[in-house]
Structure 1
Amino acid sequence: MRLIPLIFALFIANILIVSGQGIGSPGTIKDDGKFAASTKQLNQFFRRFNGEESPTDGNVRYYPGDSLYRNTKLREGFIKVLFDNQTSSISTDLKEEFIKNVLSDVYPQYINFHREGWIAEVQADFLFKGKRETATIILKLQPEGLGYEWVFDRVSFPPFKNLFNKPVGDSKDFLHPLSHELGFMNLRRAFQDSKVPEAFTKSSFKPDYLTLFLYEMKQNNIRFQTVTDVKFHFFQIEGWYFEVNQFNRPGFNTGWLISNLLKLSPGDKETILKYIYDQE
């Protein structure tokens, strides 16, 4: 599932198709295509966004103390070509506002690989009881030992969608509040007679599909086949959300690029996270 319908509902965007741009000396934009060469790795996306890479040689990195390390003009040129400028529906005005905010003289903002505020969304195919199914897996980075590791945070799996259908209101079965006086012998109603034992759970009950997914895998009912799509969701820039996808196509505007951009109003971040995580 994608966030495009959600973003269209919150903001009306205009389709912008522009050519890739390059940079000569810091701040001098030229359309020779060299600077806009494919952002092949996500780590390179981080370096370019932060202005920590040479504009002419992607193998040359800048570090604190280097004259061009996080140079504002260098960053501006990089960020402009880190957008999907061929197919995305991000208006020019929104891009410019975002760039101005990120490059603020008072409060410049950067993205950090090891900091919270970004997650991965992976689409992968599995065989489930002999049938091919697609799962959506949300992963987060967590510290581990002296480094970090990606861990499963949530899974959405279509075969699980209708496993739990908790009734509400008058149709909901329940255990009488004096059940304890009977030694809870009426648990038979929940565990034997009922076809929806989830009706007897607390109001806030939500099934843990990740645990169920891992259990079925341990039972050899689910077998991994292949990854079909990867995207990343970023909330590290204060007041903004953006999505990064990989584009494989001819030309210079390829690789890992910003495909969706949203200026956040109060409550928008929670709405987007709920959309990402609750895809059952």
Structure 2
Amino acid sequence: MKINPIAYFVLILLTFHLESHAQQLGTYLGDETPFYAATKQMSQFFRRFNNEEDRNGKPYFSTDKMYRETEQRKKYINLLFNNENQSFTTNLRNEFIQAVTSKESGQFLDFHGGRWFAEVRANFTYLGKPEVVTLFLELQKEGLGSKWVLSNVYFPAFNNLFLGDTTGASKKFLHPQSHEIDFMNLIRAFETLRDVELYTKKGYQPDMLSIFFYEMKKNTLRFETVAEVKFHFLQINNWYFEVSNFNRTGNNTGWLISNLMKIPENQKNILEKFIFTKR
């Protein structure tokens, strides 16, 4: 039985919806090993970031005294960083923790609040050769629940098709009287395939997902396996961070903050474009 590759992606990422089993956590002043080993699912990362579960992994009720309690939350968040990333200076980490735990303007992660998405590096075969394709997925409401959906794709073989020289774009146009000659001058527009998109309307952006689906439907692009998954978060005002899974020995493992950047809200769209296009 053949498995739909897209359905396979969604099935894999839906596992992050599952509630984690209760984990035995060491005290913050003692052995922290069980805590690090326990953050195995993104749903648990959300709860710990927000301090919505106790140190044994049992979720708090919203009426509990410790639910989202500030001081314990600071300790939780501090333990959710990848300690091997030397760019996490003490000042940067403390500034971020202070920003999200401030009693006046504290911020919490919302699983269904948007402004976070998954990046999946997957192995494919394209025209008989092994290739890596990067897929982007986001949560979309569906009835009373939600589902993961593909929102973008990055594949150099596709993106490089649209790297034509735009410096002479003003010289590439169809004369306003072209209709009078039945658009016979289209032959000139289609002579240089590299520049053909210069004849489109302003604001044109190639749809990489459509190209991706087209190649898959032709069976020239075939899914093999998922290689890596990480998540991008833009929910926190004036901050961006990335969460990756670290499967390694030692204490500092599981889903951890792997990248952190202070960024104004009005520049986040530029950052998103960079993430999607890798340039």
Per the TM superposition, whether the score is higher than 0.5 is: yes
Against the structure 1 CA distance between its residues 265 and 38, is the aligned structure 2 distance closer, same or farther, given a 3 Å change threshold?
A: same
Against the structure 1 CA distance between its residues 76 and 170, is the aligned structure 2 distance closer, same or farther, given a 3 Å change threshold?
A: closer
Structure whose residues are more often helix by fraction: 2
Identity of matched residues, %: 49
1:111-130 alignment to 2 at 5 Å? Answer: 111-130=109-128
Q: Is 1:279 aligned with 2:268?
A: no
1:1-280 alignment to 2 at 5 Å? Answer: 24=27, 29-33=28-32, 34-55=34-55, 57-58=56-57, 60-170=58-168, 172-191=171-190, 193-196=191-194, 197-265=196-264, 267-279=266-278
Stretch moving more, 76-85 or 265-274: 265-274
Task: Assess if the C-alpha contact under 8 Å between 2:237 and 2:265 holds in 1.
Answer: no
Deviation at 1:104, TM superposition (A): 0.8
Amino acid at match of 1:44: Q
CA distance, structure 2, for counterparts of residue 105 and residue 128 of structure 1: 52
Against the structure 1 CA distance between its residues 207 and 107, is the aligned structure 2 distance closer, same or farther, given a 3 Å change threshold?
A: same
CA distance, structure 2, for counterparts of residue 100 and residue 170 of structure 1: 50
Stretch moving more, 178-187 or 108-117: 178-187
Task: Assess if the C-alpha contact under 8 Å between 1:83 and 1:257 holds in 2.
Answer: yes
CA distance, structure 2, for counterparts of residue 147 and residue 69 of structure 1: 24
CA distance, structure 1, for counterparts of residue 263 and residue 197 of structure 2: 36
Against the structure 1 CA distance between its residues 268 and 75, is the aligned structure 2 distance closer, same or farther, given a 3 Å change threshold?
A: same
Task: Assess if the C-alpha contact under 8 Å between 2:119 and 2:137 holds in 1.
Answer: yes
Deviation at 1:68, TM superposition (A): 1.6
Against the structure 1 CA distance between its residues 114 and 79, is the aligned structure 2 distance closer, same or farther, given a 3 Å change threshold?
A: same
The size of the alignment, in residue pairs, is: 252
Against the structure 1 CA distance between its residues 238 and 43, is the aligned structure 2 distance closer, same or farther, given a 3 Å change threshold?
A: same
CA distance, structure 2, for counterparts of residue 184 and residue 132 of structure 1: 42
CA distance, structure 2, for counterparts of residue 272 and residue 164 of structure 1: 20
* 1:64-89, Cα deviation, whole Å (9 max, x unpaired): 11222111122111111001113342
Stretch moving more, 121-130 or 71-80: 71-80
Deviation at 1:187, TM superposition (A): 2.5
Structure 1 unaligned residues grouped into runs of 5+: 1-21
SS of the residue corresponding to residue 162 of structure 1 reads helix
* 1:18-71, Cα deviation, whole Å (9 max, x unpaired): xxxx764xxxx413124443311011000000111111x12x111211222111
Task: Assess if the C-alpha contact under 8 Å between 2:49 and 2:77 holds in 1.
Answer: yes
Task: Assess if the C-alpha contact under 8 Å between 2:159 and 2:208 holds in 1.
Answer: no
Task: Assess if the C-alpha contact under 8 Å between 1:165 and 1:198 holds in 2.
Answer: no
RMSD: 2.0
Task: Assess if the C-alpha contact under 8 Å between 2:36 and 2:254 holds in 1.
Answer: no
SS of the residue corresponding to residue 94 of structure 2 reads helix
Deviation at 1:107, TM superposition (A): 1.7
Deviation at 1:279, TM superposition (A): 2.4
Task: Assess if the C-alpha contact under 8 Å between 1:42 and 1:256 holds in 2.
Answer: yes
* 1:85-105, Cα deviation, whole Å (9 max, x unpaired): 133421011111111111111
* 1:97-134, Cα deviation, whole Å (9 max, x unpaired): 11111111112210010011111111111001101111
Deviation at 1:170, TM superposition (A): 4.4
Against the structure 1 CA distance between its residues 74 and 169, is the aligned structure 2 distance closer, same or farther, given a 3 Å change threshold?
A: closer
Structure 2 unaligned residues grouped into runs of 5+: 1-24
Q: Which has the higher contact order (CA 8 A, sep 6+)?
A: 1
**If the length of structure 2 is used for normalisation, what is the TM-score?**
0.83
Amino acid at match of 1:46: F
Deviation at 1:158, TM superposition (A): 1.7
Task: Assess if the C-alpha contact under 8 Å between 1:140 and 1:152 holds in 2.
Answer: yes
CA distance, structure 1, for counterparts of residue 35 and residue 167 of structure 2: 61
The runs of at least 4 consecutive aligned structure 1 residues that moved more than 6 Å come to none
Amino acid at match of 2:133: A
**If the length of structure 1 is used for normalisation, what is the TM-score?**
0.83
Against the structure 1 CA distance between its residues 134 and 145, is the aligned structure 2 distance closer, same or farther, given a 3 Å change threshold?
A: same
CA distance, structure 1, for counterparts of residue 165 and residue 89 of structure 2: 44
Stretch moving more, 219-228 or 85-94: 85-94
Task: Assess if the C-alpha contact under 8 Å between 1:232 and 1:243 holds in 2.
Answer: yes
Deviation at 1:221, TM superposition (A): 0.9
CA distance, structure 2, for counterparts of residue 220 and residue 78 of structure 1: 47
Partner of 1:15: none
SS of the residue corresponding to residue 66 of structure 1 reads coil
